[in-house]
Structure 1
């Protein structure tokens, strides 16, 4: 039997029991001593939700390794913004550090080793706030280690610390001041990148975008935080499709990416943001194309905000 992991895992589920079972099978290989499970409640006017949520709850009966299971099962649907952020806050209220996996984020077994090594290595380094599991660098290797530092906090399988999450505010209370002083210009030089993030932050602050992760980016950036990104891809997103909340289309070839097992964790010699890697990610996923504002306004007028949310999110979630 493999050695059990001493790093707690938060497993966030909703209404996709088939995806969730695949991820649970990978968690089983790591055998965490503590497993936290958060399941959002069924949505009103979605007849299939109740049964699918019930099937996700039933998955907990398949946990067959020695571990302490903690449950946060919602009776009503909180949605993406409140459901996920509430689950992560609940998790970090009880643990100092840990791994977060949603039900469509399939990890390579070495993802757990990668997170464990970096959680301990950077435990007392406040400048590092996030450890990501995905790599979308198009085959580029950055630096002299197994990972590099970036501004970008990809959230398809990640890890962090209580000390970092304590800086998170789902309502972004300081955002009006951030916007008043146009501080987005101090973060990014490219006007189209600035525009993308300004619109995204405006959307979540006003409640037009129902999500939790733009707020996490905001918290990291206003606290001069850095994110760890692996030079090999350790997470494959298996959740693209019409049942997904946001990732309905795979327009960026980010779905079902092959996993690349990590042989060892080699720490970079320098704790410096790799701007080349950050800029590559921004250009590929987070830059507003010319004419997009008019297009977004037209979409809003014809189809309502739900389409706009999807357009934003399919770029963010990697």
Structure 2
């Protein structure tokens, strides 16, 4: 690790949790990126302590003491988690070709930075890959001895992607959702269509889990109606529509330390909270094929369904 130089820009999104932001910042500080982008939301109306807490969170990044360009995009008003993150990443990718992105509660292992940079370089320009992710919960076991596998789910708790992916596909309002919903395209995404010979023509049968369809339909419906200020499910939507894959490591490289009452979305502690991190082993052993791990994805879908 001593010869590794982190040249990929790092993005940190913050709000009002200085104690969490400080822990994540300290790991970024150890990695010493040459560029750091900070995205901050403003205080909420009718929350008297927000102004002080937002200022405290912003003070954390003033501790940059290595050779690093720091770029700040701070909102005076509260845009909400979704609009603030999406607009902030629009800003980042107007200037950078690729980036490693952390929320204030996504605590990385140090080996994540080298792994992400190598994966960004390896899969740049490959239209099949939409993101690099750091999560591996290992609840369903492991099938492979390679350093990483592929998933249909772009886990976004400490992740990386490219300008081309973000600018070409990301749509905060998911304008294609009515067409996808009304023509039952989720069945094609999450189901299996079988053709059987009938008396006069083929008969097509669809095999799918209704719970999966209901889960994603609920999420996408409320996002399209602008009833939920989030940004990450839109990235999932984009990934599904493009048949995109995410790179996931064979060890967990990011721990979400932000579950609890102060969280915006992860208020209830689940099995995904505070999962310990482990080091990535180098050199990276690349799989000789690009197939989504359906077993791991099915297990994650069960976790998603339970989270409703």
TM-score normalised to structure 1 length: 0.88
Gap runs ≥5 in structure 2: 191-207
1:291 aligned residue: none
Alignment of 1:244-263 (within 5 A): 244-250=263-269, 252-263=270-281
1:174 aligned residue: 176
1:193 aligned residue: 212
Alignment of 1:263-274 (within 5 A): 263-264=281-282, 265-274=284-293
Gap runs ≥5 in structure 1: 289-310, 313-318
2:52 aligned residue: 51
| Distance in 2 separating the partners of 1:68 and 1:86 | 21
| Distance in 1 separating the partners of 2:281 and 2:249 | 12
| Distance in 1 separating the partners of 2:173 and 2:157 | 22
By percentage of residues, which structure has more helix?
Answer: 1
Deviations 1:100-149 (A, max 9, x none): 00100000001111111100010121110011111123162232311110
| Distance in 2 separating the partners of 1:180 and 1:254 | 33
Please report how far the alpha carbon of residue 231 of structure 1 lies from its aligned counterpart in structure 2 after TM superposition: 1.2
Off by >2 Å, runs of 4+ in structure 1: 1-4
| Distance in 2 separating the partners of 1:19 and 1:65 | 21
By percentage of residues, which structure has more strand?
Answer: 2
Deviations 1:135-185 (A, max 9, x none): 123162232311110101111100011111121000111111111111010
Q: Secondary structure at the match of 1:94?
A: coil
Deviations 1:57-84 (A, max 9, x none): 2122201110100110000000011011
Equivalent pairs, count: 288
Bigger radius of gyration: 2
Asked whether 1:10 is paired with 2:11, we answer yes
Q: Secondary structure at the match of 2:124?
A: coil
1:224 aligned residue: 243
Deviations 1:221-263 (A, max 9, x none): 111110111110001111112111111121x321111111111
**Aligned in 2, Cα 1:63/1:27: closer, same or farther, shift over 3 Å?**
same
User: Do the aligned partners of 2:147 and 2:281 also contact (CA within 8 Å) in 1?
Assistant: no
| Distance in 2 separating the partners of 1:81 and 1:105 | 16
Q: Secondary structure at the match of 2:56?
A: helix
User: Do the aligned partners of 1:135 and 1:233 also contact (CA within 8 Å) in 2?
Assistant: yes
Q: Secondary structure at the match of 2:286?
A: coil
User: Do the aligned partners of 2:148 and 2:287 also contact (CA within 8 Å) in 1?
Assistant: yes
